[in-house]
Amino acid sequence: MDVVLVRWPEEEHRLDELRETGSPRLLLVGPQVSPPEAVDCLEDWVRLPADDRDVRARVATLEARASNGHAQPAIDGDGLLRFRKHWTALSPVERSLAGGLVERFGAVVGRDALAKRAWPKGAPTRNALDVHVLRLRRRIAPLGLEVRTVRSRGYLLQATAHDVSFERA
């Protein structure tokens, strides 16, 4: 999706259209003009006269925001789990579990809900689910996905967090 350059405030009417359609846009704000305050993350502005590299940097950021509609994993028609250009094959049971987790990506799915999905007529044992979750974890790790445990509630699928949080000397 292309970023539209808009002169402000000359092209105010055109700006309103872009805002309604949700198109990413960069306002070129003339000198001595106060820029509009936009909460919308797909809108930005530069003060004229502006360095061409700065304009390009802001355009690139807006493009990234527009196209990066928070990547979400999916299971395609062939039973492959896809996420960000990568994919992996799943066994039937794993596909059932992954399906339940993908449907509620980022939210908790109860153990019983997952179990009922994989074994509608009743799970073999309590531990069967644990073991399959363990196997699923190992299979999806290379994709940048991880299954996190929420104790006594269930499991949660999310993109792997690049944990840099503890680096205090």
Partner DNA sequence: AGAGAGCCTTCACCGGAGCGAAACAAATCC
Partner DNA sequence: GGATTTGTTTCGCTCCGGTGAAGGCTCTCT
Whether the bond between 73 and the residue before it is cis, its omega within 30 degrees of 0, is no
Q: Could you tell me which residues are beta bridge partners of residue 154? A: 110, 150
User: Is residue 119 a contact residue for DNA (CB under 7 A)?
Assistant: yes
Tell me which stretch binds DNA (CB under 7 A): 29-37, 54-62, 75-83, 134-142: 134-142
Q: Is 40 exposed, middle or buried (0-12, 13-18, 19+ CB in 10 A)?
A: exposed
Q: Which residues have C-beta within 8 Å of that of residue 3, sequence separation ≥ 6?
A: 24, 25, 26, 59, 62, 63, 66
Tell me which stretch binds DNA (CB under 7 A): 25-33, 51-59, 67-75, 152-160: 152-160
User: Is residue 165 a contact residue for its own copies (CB under 8 A)?
Assistant: yes
Structure tokens at 156: 């949660």
| Nearer of residues 43 and 94 to DNA, judged by Cβ | 94
Query: Which of 49, 52, 68, 125 forms a contact with its own copies (CB under 8 A)?
Result: 68
Asked if residues 4 and 26 have their Cβ atoms less than 8 Å apart, the reply is: yes
| Nearer of residues 78 and 122 to its own copies, judged by Cβ | 78
Query: Which of 152, 162, 165, 167 forms a contact with DNA (CB under 7 A)?
Result: 152
Place of tokens 């799915």: 109
Out of DNA, its own copies, none, which partner does residue 25 contact, by CB within 5 to 8 A per kind? none
Place of tokens 């069967």: 128
Q: Report the C-alpha gap between 114 and 88 in whole angstroms.
A: 20
Q: Could you tell me which residues are beta bridge partners of residue 45? A: 27
Site for its own copies in 101-140 (CB under 8 A): 107-108
User: Is residue 137 a contact residue for DNA (CB under 7 A)?
Assistant: yes
| Nearer of residues 38 and 128 to DNA, judged by Cβ | 128
Out of its own copies, DNA, none, which partner does residue 127 contact, by CB within 5 to 8 A per kind? DNA
Interface positions with DNA (CB under 7 A): 89-94, 111, 118-119, 124-125, 127-128, 130-135, 137, 149, 151-155
